[in-house]
A and B are shown apart, each in its own frame.
Chain A
Amino acid sequence: MRKVAIIGVGMTDFGELWEKSLRDLTVQAGLEAIRDSGLPGEEIDALYAGCMSSGIFVQQEHIASLLADYCGLVPKSATRVEGACASGGIALRQAIMAVASGMHDVVVAGGVEKMTDILTEQTTMALACAADREWEAFQGVTFPGLYAMMARRHMHDYGTTEEQLSLVAVKNHENGAKNPHAQYRRPVTLEQVMNSSLIADPIRLLHCSPISDGAAAVVVCSKEKAKEARSEPIWVIGSGQASDTIALHDRKDITTMNATVVAVREALRMAGITQKYVDLVEVHDCFTIAEILAIEDLGFFEKGKGGPATQEGLTALNSQISVNPSGGLKSKGHPVGATGIAQIVEVVQQLRGQAGARQVKDAEIGMAHNVGGSGGTCVTHILSR
């Protein structure tokens, strides 16, 4: 396997971007990533684009060709990748494999979602398609509902409290307030979170990531090509991906995402490191309970200790492990297909020392954790300076 570098990153602001289309967003993020890399666009061999549901959100499929066209990449190979909210992370992994194999030298991995063009009920239904449509969503369960069921059971089994669930949001908003691309660039108080309206008990509005528009892109290349890059390359040292049953009810333990456990094991083995070498991690906090599950299942804390660890401040910026320095999905926003790539943008900026007010001190190694659905897909990457 060839060594793989990330040499360029770019992302749009995340938020309700009513004045921009899916293609505009992607071109903007893509151009920024190419400029950042310093490589001429002619060097790009292929594009992998993560997108969950452009068919429902903007009634447009076949977006690989559309994006290649509008990015000026035609006739290069362009492929859309779909794995629900993990679409972006999987697109990156495909790009890495294409370069590692020697098939391509320079590949762009992008992610995009344009979610605010339709009504909230329709968005809720589109997202529910990432669950088992015939045997979960048919019964009226929503995504907040699925994560609420995990939260209820986690509280029952481990004594996790509503306050601990809420403190994840407080911490992520504090970080996101320092991120110029974040949808919510403001802190929230514990009282605001705990008094926000119930969406699916015990999940409240401020436990949920928002509905967002946005795109992100990274340029991936071989060690040889990385010599021509404008900045010091950031190396991909680990990559892991795993699957699980699509329906939450089919899992033996609904408080553990086994796909996360397997994906991180694979990525750490490839990198030849353990969790203690990781300085920061961008985890998939689509709901605050998801961050608690993630920090446990990734092995940063024992099962059941994610809530107390959050309460003790062990996951805050520049603490034991900086979790979601970008603000996470919660504060930065969650345009589902773009999320996995935006996590990589953050990790790269942190490792380059370009993260400004939210910079993790002396960051050497960073991890990204991207989940699809209620845990049916997980992809994890480890990057190093």
Chain B
Amino acid sequence: MGVPRFWREIPYRYQLIGTKCSNCRSTFFPPRLICPNCRGAGKVEEAKLSGGGEVVTYTVVRVPPEGFEKQAPYVVGIVKLDEGPRITSQIVDCEPEDVRIGSRVRTVFRKIDEEGPAGAIHYGYKFALEQ
């Protein structure tokens, strides 16, 4: 995939900025142009997320997709952020057996993948266990 697609995402990949609906008060990440609950009825505003959360579920990917061969095996989980939204992310800097449903985690800034030896390197958020 080309560089522009990932460049376009930069603000949200590097910092957890989501959106909050003024009507139902739900927070979403990634940002949405309209609230899926209220559609036209709510006004959507930017909401900075603290980066702390809890593991809802997780797995250890042992057969990776193209671009992730060097990282496998790695832990991927769904994290429920303290403000409500849930996101899918790698959980790093730990052994897979240290991760549990309910573990506290916090965002860290990491390399995600690279487009071959001479291609662009993509960066973004991952999560690490809170000490």
Contact = CB atoms under 8 A, between A and B. Distances in A.
A141 B76 contact: yes
A248 interface: yes
Contact of B65 (A121, A135, A153, A248): A121
A21 interface: no
B89 A139 contact: yes
B47 interface: no
Interface string A236-259: 000000000001111000100000
B61 A140 contact: yes
Contact of A142 (B65, B69, B89): B65
A51 B67 CA distance: 25
A128 B96 CA distance: 22
A136 interface: yes
A288 to B, nearest CB: 15
A199 interface: yes
A286 to B, nearest CB: 15
Contacts of A202: 59
Contacts of A248: 78, 88
A145 B101 contact: no
Contact of A156 (B64, B77, B101): B101
Contacts of A145: 59, 61, 76
B72 to A, nearest CB: 8
A139 B58 contact: no
Given A149-B58, A201-B60, A140 B101 contact: no
Nearest to A251: B86
Contacts, number: 102
Interface string B100-130: 0100000000001100000000101010000
Contacts of B86: 249-250
Contact of A140 (B5, B87, B113): B113
B77 A149 contact: yes
B57 A121 contact: no
Nearest to A144: B63
Which residue of A132, A140, A141, A248 has the most chain B CB atoms within 10 A of its CB atom? A140
A176 to B, nearest CB: 23
B90 interface: yes
B88 to A, nearest CB: 5
Interface in A105-156: 120-122, 124-125, 128, 132, 134-142, 144-145, 148-150, 152-153, 156
A151 to B, nearest CB: 8
Contacts of A124: 63-66
A145 B113 CA distance: 17
Which residue of A134, A139, A201, A250 has the most chain B CB atoms within 10 A of its CB atom? A139
A237 B77 CA distance: 41
B60 A140 contact: no
A248 B112 CA distance: 20
A153 B57 contact: yes
Contacts of A156: 57, 101
A139 B64 contact: no
Contacts of A254: 56-57, 78
A201 B126 CA distance: 19
A165 to B, nearest CB: 13
Contacts of B101: 152-153, 156
Contacts of B62: 197-201
Interface in B38-68: 56-68
A140 B64 contact: yes
Interface string A176-208: 000000000000000000000111111100000
Given A135-B30, A140-B113, A249-B87, A199 B63 contact: yes
A140 B59 contact: no
Given A139-B76, A153-B57, 11 more contacts: A121-B69, A124-B66, A140-B64, A140-B65, A140-B74, A140-B112, A142-B63, A153-B101, A199-B62, A249-B87, A254-B57
Interface of A: 120-122, 124-125, 128, 132, 134-142, 144-145, 148-150, 152-153, 156, 197-203, 247-250, 254
Interface of B: 5, 9, 30, 56-69, 71, 74, 76-78, 86-90, 96, 101, 112-113, 122, 124, 126
Can you list the 7 inter-chain pairs with the closest CB atoms, starting with the nearest?
Answer: A148-B59, A249-B86, A153-B57, A121-B66, A149-B57, A125-B65, A201-B60
23 contacts: A121-B66, A124-B66, A125-B65, A125-B67, A137-B65, A139-B76, A139-B112, A140-B71, A142-B61, A142-B64, A144-B63, A149-B76, A198-B62, A199-B62, A200-B61, A200-B62, A201-B62, A248-B88, A249-B56, A249-B78, A249-B86, A254-B56, A254-B78
